[in-house]
Structure 1
Amino acid sequence: MTGQRDRWAELTGGQAGEEYARRFARLAESGQDVHGEAAFCAALLKPGARVLDAGCGTGRIAIRLAELGHHCTGVDLDPSMLAVARRQAPGQEWLLGDLARLDALGLEPGFDLALAAGNVIPLLAPGTEPAVIRQLAGLLRPGGLLVTGMGLDAAHLPLPEPPVTLEEVDAWCTQAGLTLRGRYGTWSGEAYDQDCGYAVSVHARPTA
């Protein structure tokens, strides 16, 4: 453990699971597409891929990817979120753990894709971001992908200001041996520009 609470825990007290699930249920009932992240990732994957959903929350994305035929492992540090995920998909693998200490979970390397959606990176414990990216990169197979989504301004974050920059994330990925393959402004694949306030980034581990 890092000894420092992540920003998500500071915001929610670790009791947000049920309300978070209800929020997305309401969105789905209203006709909104709540599977944009899963669709984006599925388009990058071959059938039956191994996916690590880092900061999986209530399991919304991992459950959808499993429905599409992929093998998903979800990891989160918030027990209230994992309780929802385990109830909704008891047959999937849900692990309680610190993303900065993924090595302590004994995960088998070789994932085709690691996902950190839902502002996972900005909501980590301050100072742990490089370690998290390094841990995720180390679990990828050669050619595997790290996909991240993060707000770049207060309008796209549950925080008054962004605690990390896109340039910092790129630098941490470079330090972890990853290269930027693509960047988008939305999960639907729209072009990224510096004024859009959100970035979906795809970094790759070299094949050799």
Structure 2
Amino acid sequence: MSRWEELTGGTSGEDYAARFAALADSGKDMHGEARLCAALMPAGARVLDAGCGTGRVMIRLAELGYDCVGVDRDASMLAVARRQAPELLWAQADLATLDPAELRIAADFDLVVAAGNIFPLLAPGTEAEVVRRLAATLRPGGLLVAGFGLDAAHLPVPPTITLPEYDAHCAAAGLTLADRFATWDADPYHGGGYAVSVHRAH
């Protein structure tokens, strides 16, 4: 079981969507992740939203002209995503066993985005395998972009993965660190409890 399922029971889709809708209604900018992805890759690129949840990031990327596929293991989250954007491709799968061929998805993505603390919320011990499987979906030169909390202040669960560990998993999967930011607004990273890492496939 993933730490996400331990936290939510796998039934949180509606609540999660409502929370972000309330934030958007309050005037908070909800599209930093999509904006950073758009700055890294031109419109028309193929994007895999790994751990897409209710689809907030992917729906915005699709609006900006990207060819998107969303994958998540939480059926309650995907139900919201499918209702909000039934025209987009949403697939239920565990990232630790992700097989694009099984989902009939071509594994030639230009960019994989993992927003929303995906890595700290994985089942413990699956982090390296998830990185390997996501890297395998990228074309040469493609990017894996992952943002996650590194301390208790930035996570709903105790921290489990450090940046050196994550970088080591990426290196083992054939990815090289290209950039690292402190926020999805691309503020420089100088240490701290949250990081957005950009790794490039060889």
Normalization by structure 1: what TM-score?
0.95
Question: Which residue of structure 1 lines up, in the alignment, with residue 179 of structure 2?
Answer: 182
Q: How many residues align?
A: 200
Distance in 2 of aligned mates of 1:106 and 1:120:
23
RMSD between superposed Cα atoms in Å: 0.7
Distance in 1 of aligned mates of 2:9 and 2:25:
27
Aligned equivalent of 2:34, options 38, 41, 44? 38
Question: Which residue of structure 2 lines up, in the alignment, with residue 117 of structure 1?
Answer: 115
Q: Deviations over 1:154-195 (max 9, x none)?
A: 010001x2111111100000000000000000000111122x
Aligned to 1:122, the other structure's residue is in SS state helix
Aligned to 1:188, the other structure's residue is in SS state coil
Distance in 1 of aligned mates of 2:153 and 2:173:
29
Runs ≥4 residues deviating over 2 A: 104-107
Does residue 129 in structure 1 map to residue 118 in structure 2?
no
Mean Cα displacement is larger for which, 101-110 or 71-80? 101-110
Does residue 203 in structure 1 map to residue 177 in structure 2?
no
User: Where does 1:102-113 land on structure 2 (aligned, <5 Å)?
Assistant: 102-103=98-99, 104-113=102-111
Distance in 1 of aligned mates of 2:63 and 2:74:
24
Aligned to 2:178, the other structure's residue is in SS state strand
Distance in 2 of aligned mates of 1:134 and 1:169:
11
Question: Which residue of structure 2 lines up, in the alignment, with residue 13 of structure 1?
Answer: 9
Distance in 1 of aligned mates of 2:105 and 2:147:
23
Percent identity, please.
Answer: 64
CA drift of 1:106 comes to 3.8
Question: Which residue of structure 1 lines up, in the alignment, with residue 140 of structure 2?
Answer: 142
Show structure 2 runs of 5+ residues with no match. none
Normalization by structure 2: what TM-score?
0.97
Show structure 1 runs of 5+ residues with no match. none
Aligned to 1:105, the other structure's residue is in SS state coil
Does residue 169 in structure 1 map to residue 145 in structure 2?
no
